[in-house]
Structure 1
Amino acid sequence: MSALFNFQSLLLVILLLICTSSYVHGIFPTFMNNHKQGFMGIFWKAARIGERLSPYISICCVVMAVSMMIGS
């Protein structure tokens, strides 16, 4: 089943996108700051969300991990 049709998988993909973008922005900040528009702008926005809401994102990651362990 595709991640687009399963809500839990869609949330997992979004969380992974936010976490990965924040990590890459921490390592290469100038790379993402030069691409604020277009397709790469999605990653810049995800990195910004991850930086500003990092406690909530980390709690969501832990909750998602627990729900996947229990649901399996």
Structure 2
Amino acid sequence: MSALFNFQSLLLVILLLICTCAYLHQIFPTILDRNKQGLMGIFWKAARIGERLSPYISLCCVFMAASVFIGN
């Protein structure tokens, strides 16, 4: 089943995207800062969400990891 049709997998993909973009923005800030608009702007917005909501994002990652661990 595709991650787009399974809600838990979709949330996991979104969380991984946010975490990855926030990490890349810390390492290479110019790559995401020059692409604030258009299709590549999604990654810049995800990095901003990851930076500003990092405690909540990390809690969501812990909950998702626990649900995957308990579910299997």
- With normalisation by structure 2, the TM-score equals 0.98
Q: Structure 1: which 5+ residue stretches go unaligned?
A: none
Amino acid at match of 2:43: F
1:8 maps to what in 2? 8
Matches within 5 A, 1:50-61: 50-61=50-61
CA RMSD in angstroms, aligned pairs only:
0.4
Structure-2 separation of matches of 1:34 and 1:24: 13
Q: Structure 2: which 5+ residue stretches go unaligned?
A: none
- Size of the alignment, in residue pairs? 72
2:28 maps to what in 1? 28
SS in 2 for 1:48: helix
- With normalisation by structure 1, the TM-score equals 0.98
Structure-2 separation of matches of 1:71 and 1:11: 15
Q: State the percentage of identical aligned residues.
A: 78
